[in-house]
Structure 1
Amino acid sequence: MNQLEIINKKIYTRESIQSQLNIWRFKNQKIVFSNGCFDIIHKGHIEYLAKASDLGDKLIIGLNTDRSVREIKGSSRPLQDEQARLTIIAALKFIDAVILFDEPTPYELIKAVQPDFLVKGNDYKAEDVVGYDIVKNRGGDVLTIELTPGYSTSAIIDKAISQN
């Protein structure tokens, strides 16, 4: 299998991930879930995702569709379309699966995945993370990860605009 095939094999739908989840669970592998827009990947994203990956055996990322990014971030975003963002996230070696979601929050996707660990940045309180109830009710844990100071997509965009 060539490298692009390996990357594309990590891109799932909500439905197609189910058989892979069954395999991972049969092997008693712990599933970690996080989500985001990941419009311009930067050092902060890489460190966050690497730390999330270390919390379990398999890391699944819920990725906002272009439409949902516009809803959250405004009409000028995303800068990269969802297919580009899917490929970039799937190319990271510590990511095991990427799934698009079109809703305002990943609640329904979290319900479908039923992760052992739900992870967000420490700009959230664990109990305020969308899907907290789903994960806690199945005996899982909701964790926050310290973010790398000084890195954000918005700051990168603002800097690029101000330099032009």
Structure 2
Amino acid sequence: MNINRKLATELVEEAKKNGKKVVFTNGCFDILHVGHVTYLTEAKRQGDILIVGVNSDASVKRLKGETRPINSEYDRAFVLDALKSVDYTVIFEEDTPEELIACLKPSIHVKGGDYKKEDLPETKIVESYGGEVIILNFVEGKSTTNIIEKINKK
């Protein structure tokens, strides 16, 4: 279910009061592929509730270039919401998730193996309130950019 930041914050607070571990991850998720699904399934295994921050159309354009995103922010959130591993999605306008993480204060923040914990600006925020940052294995050769390049070659 796609929810706003305020409702997401309330849900996290309530879940934590009830002893649940809330996992947060984020990304563009422009063209969903097996790498995304594998990653999100593994992210969900880290806790009880998985919230996925979805970059807005404007932030994807800033991060990935003028031809992106392929799918709108609402379509991307809708597709993610259809996955059984994803409990909630929150669309965010910023290029990075620090502000959203500072609001939500999830128990666990998960990123893919293409990142290093010490290089993530959000690590300091997560650890400041006692949260944990987990880096999951990267699914090699599976990326939206690779898919787009393959389509463009045909």
Consecutive unaligned residues of structure 1, counting only runs of 5 or more, are 1-9
Q: Is the 8 A contact 2:12 2:106 kept in 1?
A: no
Residue 20 (structure 1) aligned with residue 15 (structure 2): no
What is the number of residues matched between the two proteins?
A: 154
Partner of 1:129: 120
Q: Is the 8 A contact 1:106 1:130 kept in 2?
A: no
Task: Write the distance in 2 (CA, Å) between the matches of 1:45 and 1:54.
Answer: 14
Give 1:23 deviation, angstroms.
Answer: 2.2
Partner of 1:98: 89
Give 1:128 deviation, angstroms.
Answer: 1.5
Partner of 1:3: none
Partner of 1:69: 60
Q: Residue deviations 1:7-39, cap 9 Å, x none? A: xxx211111212222321121100111100000
Q: Residue deviations 1:122-161, cap 9 Å, x none? A: 1111122231111111112111111111100000000001
Task: Write the distance in 2 (CA, Å) between the matches of 1:24 and 1:13.
Answer: 16
* More displaced 10-residue stretch of structure 1: 69-78 or 123-132: 123-132
- Which amino acid letter does the alignment assign opposite residue 46 of structure 2? L
Give 1:104 deviation, angstroms.
Answer: 1.5
Note the aligned Cα RMSD (angstroms): 0.9
Give 1:113 deviation, angstroms.
Answer: 0.7
TM-score for the superposition, normalised by structure 1:
0.91
Consecutive unaligned residues of structure 2, counting only runs of 5 or more, are none
Q: Is the 8 A contact 1:120 1:129 kept in 2?
A: no
